[in-house]
Structure 1
C-alpha cells in the first residue's frame, strides 16, 4: 500500500516536472533531498556557453538556448583571460519523496568572489514561461554589497524551492581585467554557516601568520640593517593585500558600494607583489654577484610590475595581465633551479630550506596558473594553491634567513674572537718590542750620557787649554811690550822710521792679545758655562766695545754707525761680554765675506715695538735664500763660502746668546746685495 502511494506521488511529481515549458524541457533537474546537510554538487546537471558580447540580453539567450547551451561534466566555467561573457543554467527541484510540502531553502554559492559581473535569473518552470517571468539578482564585486549578497565574503543567493515543480536558474558572468572563472555550488543553510566559520578561521590564521612574518622581518632588519628584510616585508605585505582582496575582505570592508575599486585594489597589490617579489628573490639568492645576467631579467620583471600598476590604474590591465602568470612562473622556476644548484653544492640547512620554499612556491604557482588560465579543468579551490604555499614559502625563507643571520652572528663572534686573539698577540708583541726598544733606548741614553760627559770634559779641557795659552802668551807679550816702550824712550825724537816700526809691533801685540781673548771667550761660552750675568747697560757702549775689538782684528774695515733711530732706547738687561762676543762674531762674518779690499759694515740701533733691535748690514756675497735657516745651526755654512775657511759655529753661537737673552735672531739678504742680521732684545 505504501509503495503504491509512493509510486503515485513520484508519478505526480514527474508529471508536474515534465509539464513545464517546451524550451526548458531538455534541462536536467537536480533533486534536492529534504534533509541534506553540507553542500550538493551540480556536476552533470549544468549546461554552459560563452558569448563574445558582454551585453547580450537574457531574453535572447532564453529564446535561443537550445542551440547555445551545451552540457558540461563539471559545475562551472574556466575560460581564462577572454573578452566574453559566460553563461550557466541548471534546474533544481525537491525530492518527490519529500513529505513536507513547504518551500525548501538552499544557498547558491558562486565563486570566485572577485568576479566583476554576476547576474542570476531565477524562475519556477511552467508552461508558457518567458524571460520576463524570471527574477534578476545582480551580484559580483561591481554591484553594491547590500543587493548582491547577504554575505560579504562569497556571492551567495538564497533559492526557495517550490513545493511543486522545479526552479530554473540562469547565470551570466563577465570580467573586465581578470580571468573568467565561475563555479556554482548548492549549500544547506546550516552547512554553509559551518563552512563560512571554518573558512573565516583559516583566513584569520593565514592573515595573522602573514602579519607575524612581516613583524619578524622588521625585527631582522633591526638586528641586521640589510635591504633584503625590508623587501621581504614589503613582498609579504603586498601578497597579503592581494589575498585580502581575493578573499573578499576588501570588498566587504573597503568597497561595499561596488564599482571598480576592488579590481584596482587587487590588481595594484598583485603587480606590486610581483615587483617586490622579484627584487626580493634576487636579493635572497645574491643574483647580482653570482648570476648578473639573470639578475638583469629579474630587474626587468620588477619594472614589468610597475608597468602593470600603471595599466591597472588606467584601465588597460587586460592586455598586459596575461604575462604576469608566466613571468612569475619564470622567476620562480629559475629561482628553483638556482636553489637546486646551491643545495647540490653546499648541502647545508639554509640551502635545504630555500630549496623546499621555492619548490612549494613553484608547485603552488603552477597549479594556480593552470586553473586561472583554463589550461586544465581544475576545480576553483585549486586557485588557492598559491595562497597556501606562499605562507609556507615565507615561513621557510624566514627560517633560512634566520639561519643566515645566526651564521653571520657566529661568523662575527668568531671574527671578534680572532680579532681579540690577534689584538692580544699584537699587544704582547708590542710589549716585547717596547721592552726591547726601551732597553735599546736606555743603552743609547747611557752611551749619549757618556759621550756628553766626554764632550763636556773635552770642552773643559779646551777652556783650560785656552786659559793656559792666554796666560802663557800674556806674560811674554807684556815683557815684549815693556821692552818696546823702553826702546822707544832710547830712540831719538827724530827717528821716525824706528818709532813707526815700534808702533806696528805694539799693534800686532794688541791684535794677538785680542785674538786670544776672543777665542778664550768663545771657548768659555761654547762650553759648560753658559749662564748670562745680566746687568742694565746702554746698548751703544756694547756696540762700541765690539766695534773697537773688531777694529783691532781688521784695521782696514770700515765700520759705520747709524744712530738716526736710536732715540727712545733705554739701557737693557744684558750680559755685556756675551752680547759683545755675539756682535764680534757677526761683524767678523760680515767683514770676512765681503770681497772688497776695504769691507764696509753699517751698525744700526733701532727701537721696534717692545724690542731694541741691533742691525748689522754688510755688502758682501750674501747667503743663498734656501740656506738662511741652516746657517744658524751648529756647523752650518752657506754653499757659496766653501772656498773660505770656517767651522760654522759663529752664527749658531750668536743664536744661542740671543736665545739666552730671551730675544730673537733673524738673518736675511738685502735687496741690493749683502746680508742683514738683526738681534731683537726685550726692552
Structure 2
C-alpha cells in the first residue's frame, strides 16, 4: 500500500496591491526562508550526541498529558521477515536495535520493522494510560505490551493488533486514529515492542496519553481534519465559481487539486478507511493508494493549464502527457500484484516534483517582473509546497527525515498553501471580473457601432434612392419645360410674321393719311401700340420659360429709375383701361440711376400689375410706390381687391399655387412664383400683406441698387 503525500501547487495572478503590502509580504518571505534554513541546518543528527531512549512518564502532565515516542525509539530491520517475537524480544536480536536519528524514514520496503521504546514510571503514573497509533491505513501493526516486570515468554505480553488488514479483530467503524488501553506491569520501567509490516513507505506515529491527553488530542485531530476539509471545500467552491465566470481551465484544475487534498485529508484522518466491512484490507489499499494517483494527476493537470506548457514548453508538455499515461498505468497496479507499485509510482513522484519546481520558478519570474500581491502569494504557496514535496520524495526513497516530515506529513504545509491560494484566487478572480466587465463593455460598444453602421448604410441607401427619384423627377420637369419653351418659340415665330405685316401696314397708313385726319391717326397709333405690346408679351413669356428652365441670373445695368418705371406702368395702363394706375417716386430724382436687370424688373412689375387688375374691381385705383432706402430700391403695388389670406401668403409664391379666394378668376399660378424668382436673382426680398379694409400690398426690395 503506498504512502500518500500531497503535492499541491500554486496559481493565480492577483490584482496590483499597494507598495507597502508588497514590501511587508517580501519581508515575510525572507523570514520564512530564514526559519526553514535554521530548522534544516540546526537539526541535530545522530553524531551530535544520542538522545534519551527512555520516556519519563511523570513529565507527561507538563506536556498536556501527551508524549511522543518519536525521539525515544530504536528500530530493527528484518530483511527476511522470519524473525518471531521470541527471536527479537527474548533472543539475541534485542541487542541489534539501532537508535532512530532523528526520525524513522526507510522509504518503500517490504521488510518487517521492529521498534522498541522504554517507559520510566512509578506506580501512580502507570494507571489510566492509552496508546495512540497512526496512521490508520498501515497494513499490519502488532504492539507487545509486557504484563510482568521480567517477561520470559510470548505469553508474558499483551498483543495489540491494529492495521487495515486486520479488520476482523477490530470493532467499530472508521476512526481518526487507533487507540488502545495501556496496562503496564507493576514495575519502574517497561519496554514496548512494535512489529510493523507494510508495502508502503514505513511510517509510524505513536503517543502515550493520559485520558485528558487523549481527549485533547482527539479534539485537536478532529478540529484539524474538519478545518482542512472546510478550507478545501471552500477552495473548491471558489474555484468552480471563478471557472463558471471566466471559463479559465486552471480554475477547474485547481478545484480538482483541492479535491485531491480533501481526499488525502479524508484518508489520513481515517474518514475514508472502511473498518466495518471485512474486505481483507484490499479495498482500503485501493482507497488510500488512489491518493497519490489523484494528487499527481491533479498537480500535472494544473501545472499544464496554469503555465500553458503546450504553448510555452512544448517538449515538457509531451513529457507531462507521458506522465499522465504512466499515472493511468499506476492505477491498474492497485488491482494487481504483477507490477510493483513503487516502480510506477517513483517516476510520478519525480515528475510531480519537477512540475512543482517549474511552477515555483514561473511564479518567481512573474513576481520579479510585476511585483504585485497576487503573484507574491502564488510564489509563496508554490515555494512552500515545492520544498515540502522535495523533502517528502527524499523520505519516500529512504532519505533522512531532517525536519520530521513523517510526523507532520501534509498537515502543516497544506494550511498556508490553501490560505495563500485562496487569497491569490480571490485577487485573480476580481481581476478577471474587471477584465470581463471591460471586455463586455467593449463588446457592447462594438455591437452598438455595428448597429449604427447598419443604420447609416440603410439610411444612405434610402437617401440614394430618394436622390435618384428626385433627379428623375427633375429631369422629367426640365424636359417638360424644354417642350414648353419650344412651343413658345414656335408660337412667337408664327406670330412675328402677321404682327410685322400689321405694323408695316399701320406705318404705311400713317404716312398716307393726311395730318388733319387725327381720328384715324389715333386709331392707327393704338394699333401700333397694341402690336408692340403683343410683341412684348410674347418676349416676356419666352423669358419666363427660360427662367424656369435654367438658373436665373440677374444681369445688372445702369438704368434711369423714373424713366424705366414710367414706361412699364404706361404700357400696363394702355392694356388695362378699366383701372387707373398711379405712380409715385420717393427720394428719387429725375436723373437718379440704379443698377438692376431692366428686363427682370419690368417683368416682375408687369406681373404684379396684372394680378392687381385681375383681383380688384373695375374702375378701382392701383397705387405704385417706388422708394429709395439707402442703397436699396423698394417697389410696392397696392390694390383694393379681395386681399390675401394670412395663412396662404408663403404658399402663394410656389409654382401653380392659387389663393383659396381666387374664385373663377383666370390664372396659371405662375405670376407670383416668377416675381419671387426674379427678386431672388437680385438677392432681394418679396412680401405679401393685406390692406385694411380690403386689398393687397405686394412689395419687393432690391439691395445694392444705388452704388456711389
The 5-angstrom pairing of residues 444-463 of structure 1 reads 444-453=468-477
Q: What is the CA distance between 1:142 and its match in structure 2?
A: 1.5
2:238 equivalent in structure 1: 216
Q: Distance in 1 between matches of 2:426 and 2:187?
A: 65
CA displacement 1:162-199 (0-9 Å, x = unmatched) = 233543322110111x1012243322222121111112
Q: Does 2:156 correspond to 1:133?
A: yes
Q: Distance in 2 between matches of 1:155 and 1:222?
A: 42
2:73 equivalent in structure 1: 46
2:341 equivalent in structure 1: 317
Seen in structure 2, the aligned counterparts of structure 1 residues 428 and 384 have a Cα distance that, compared at 3 Å, is: same
Question: 1:41·1:75 contact (CA, 8 Å) conserved in 2?
Answer: no
Q: Distance in 1 between matches of 2:331 and 2:231?
A: 26
Aligned residue for 1:350, secondary structure, equals: helix
The 5-angstrom pairing of residues 163-178 of structure 1 reads 163-164=186-187, 166-176=189-199, 178=200
Q: Does 2:109 correspond to 1:87?
A: no
Find 1:115's aligned residue among 138, 141, 144.
138
Q: Which gives a bigger RCO, structure 1 or 2 (Cα 8 Å, sep 6+)?
A: 2
Q: What is the CA distance between 1:260 and its match in structure 2?
A: 2.3
The 5-angstrom pairing of residues 405-420 of structure 1 reads 405-420=429-444
Q: What is the CA distance between 1:202 and its match in structure 2?
A: 1.3
Q: Distance in 1 between matches of 2:114 and 2:346?
A: 22
Question: 1:92·1:167 contact (CA, 8 Å) conserved in 2?
Answer: yes
1:236 equivalent in structure 2: 258
The 5-angstrom pairing of residues 422-441 of structure 1 reads 441=465
Q: What is the CA distance between 1:291 and its match in structure 2?
A: 2.1
Q: Distance in 2 between matches of 1:408 and 1:29?
A: 58
1:158 equivalent in structure 2: 181
Find 2:99's aligned residue among 68, 72, 81.
72
Seen in structure 2, the aligned counterparts of structure 1 residues 365 and 290 have a Cα distance that, compared at 3 Å, is: same
Find 1:262's aligned residue among 255, 263, 284.
284
Question: 1:125·1:165 contact (CA, 8 Å) conserved in 2?
Answer: no
2:570 equivalent in structure 1: none
2:376 equivalent in structure 1: 352
- More displaced stretch, 451-460 vs 154-163: 451-460
Q: What is the CA distance between 1:203 and its match in structure 2?
A: 1.0
2:603 equivalent in structure 1: none
Q: What is the CA distance between 1:83 and its match in structure 2?
A: 2.1
Q: What is the CA distance between 1:87 and its match in structure 2?
A: 0.5
Question: 1:76·1:183 contact (CA, 8 Å) conserved in 2?
Answer: no
The 5-angstrom pairing of residues 150-549 of structure 1 reads 152-164=175-187, 166-176=189-199, 178-251=200-273, 259-315=281-337, 316-378=340-402, 382=406, 384-421=408-445, 441-453=465-477
Seen in structure 2, the aligned counterparts of structure 1 residues 378 and 434 have a Cα distance that, compared at 3 Å, is: same
Question: 1:221·1:230 contact (CA, 8 Å) conserved in 2?
Answer: yes
The CA RMSD measured in Å over matched residues stands at 3.7
Q: What is the CA distance between 1:112 and its match in structure 2?
A: 2.8
Q: Distance in 2 between matches of 1:427 and 1:77?
A: 73
Question: 1:50·1:85 contact (CA, 8 Å) conserved in 2?
Answer: yes
Q: Distance in 2 between matches of 1:412 and 1:47?
A: 61
2:86 equivalent in structure 1: 59
Find 2:58's aligned residue among 23, 27, 33.
33
Q: What is the CA distance between 1:365 and its match in structure 2?
A: 1.6
Q: Distance in 1 between matches of 2:434 and 2:206?
A: 56
Aligned residue for 1:276, secondary structure, equals: helix
Gaps of 5+ in 1: 1-26, 463-683
Aligned residue for 1:104, secondary structure, equals: coil
CA displacement 1:106-155 (0-9 Å, x = unmatched) = 22233333221111122245557123432322112212276389992223
Q: Distance in 2 between matches of 1:44 and 1:404?
A: 44
Aligned residue for 1:313, secondary structure, equals: coil
Q: Distance in 2 between matches of 1:438 and 1:127?
A: 113
Aligned residue for 1:251, secondary structure, equals: coil
Seen in structure 2, the aligned counterparts of structure 1 residues 418 and 51 have a Cα distance that, compared at 3 Å, is: same
Question: 2:175·2:269 contact (CA, 8 Å) conserved in 1?
Answer: no
Q: Distance in 1 between matches of 2:94 and 2:185?
A: 28
Q: Distance in 1 between matches of 2:440 and 2:173?
A: 64
- More displaced stretch, 274-283 vs 184-193: 184-193
Q: Distance in 1 between matches of 2:342 and 2:317?
A: 27
Q: Distance in 2 between matches of 1:73 and 1:131?
A: 25
CA displacement 1:580-624 (0-9 Å, x = unmatched) = xxxxxxxxxxxxxxxxxxxxxxxxxxxxxxxxxxxxxxxxxxxxx
Q: What is the CA distance between 1:419 and its match in structure 2?
A: 4.5
Aligned residue for 1:142, secondary structure, equals: coil
Question: 1:361·1:389 contact (CA, 8 Å) conserved in 2?
Answer: yes
Q: What is the CA distance between 1:84 and its match in structure 2?
A: 0.6
Q: What is the CA distance between 1:244 and its match in structure 2?
A: 1.0
Question: 1:44·1:71 contact (CA, 8 Å) conserved in 2?
Answer: no
Seen in structure 2, the aligned counterparts of structure 1 residues 157 and 324 have a Cα distance that, compared at 3 Å, is: farther
Question: 1:115·1:140 contact (CA, 8 Å) conserved in 2?
Answer: yes
Q: Distance in 2 between matches of 1:112 and 1:125?
A: 29
Seen in structure 2, the aligned counterparts of structure 1 residues 412 and 218 have a Cα distance that, compared at 3 Å, is: closer
Seen in structure 2, the aligned counterparts of structure 1 residues 119 and 298 have a Cα distance that, compared at 3 Å, is: same
Q: Distance in 2 between matches of 1:330 and 1:383?
A: 24
Q: Distance in 2 between matches of 1:294 and 1:56?
A: 48
Q: Distance in 2 between matches of 1:235 and 1:43?
A: 31
Question: 1:77·1:86 contact (CA, 8 Å) conserved in 2?
Answer: no
Gaps of 5+ in 2: 1-51, 487-708
Q: Distance in 1 between matches of 2:477 and 2:281?
A: 106
Q: Distance in 2 between matches of 1:126 and 1:105?
A: 18
Q: Distance in 1 between matches of 2:60 and 2:95?
A: 35
> How many residue pairs end up in the alignment?
432
Q: Distance in 2 between matches of 1:66 and 1:440?
A: 109
Q: Distance in 2 between matches of 1:454 and 1:44?
A: 116
Q: What is the CA distance between 1:207 and its match in structure 2?
A: 0.8
Aligned residue for 2:104, secondary structure, equals: strand
Question: 2:326·2:344 contact (CA, 8 Å) conserved in 1?
Answer: no
Q: Distance in 2 between matches of 1:149 and 1:118?
A: 17
Q: Distance in 1 between matches of 2:454 and 2:54?
A: 97
Seen in structure 2, the aligned counterparts of structure 1 residues 164 and 394 have a Cα distance that, compared at 3 Å, is: closer
